[in-house]
Amino acid sequence: MSEILETFGIGRSSIVIVAALFVWLAVVGCAASSVITRPCSRRERIVWLAIIVCVPLLGLIAYLPFSVHKSNHPFLFQSKQ
């Protein structure tokens, strides 16, 4: 990891690492709040939260198709005639 950071000239700059961690926590937090507000069973919520928290990148990618609410984006689900 340090070799990648040094490639971009960042080195061991703590401000960059803290900022990246903050952004990552914000993304995981938004996904978790989205799961909590979904109209599904408690068991499904727990499973989705476990996937997002335990396997963050794959969990976020797996949850992406389910994160679109039909009530918020009705135009996505209209049939073209």
What share of the chain in percent tops pLDDT 90?
1
Between the CA of residue 20 and those of 17, 26, 42, what are the distances in Å?
5, 10, 31
CA dihedral 17, 18, 21, 25 (to 10 degrees): -170
46-76 pLDDT, tens digit each: 988 888 888 877 777 777 777 766 666 666 6
What share of the chain in percent tops pLDDT 70?
68
Q: Is residue 50 within 8 Å of residue 40, measured between CB atoms?
A: no
Q: Structural domain boundaries of the chain?
A: 24-67
The yes-or-no verdict on residue 8 having pLDDT over 70 is no
Mean pLDDT across 4-17: 67
Q: Which residue has the higher pLDDT, 9 or 43?
A: 43
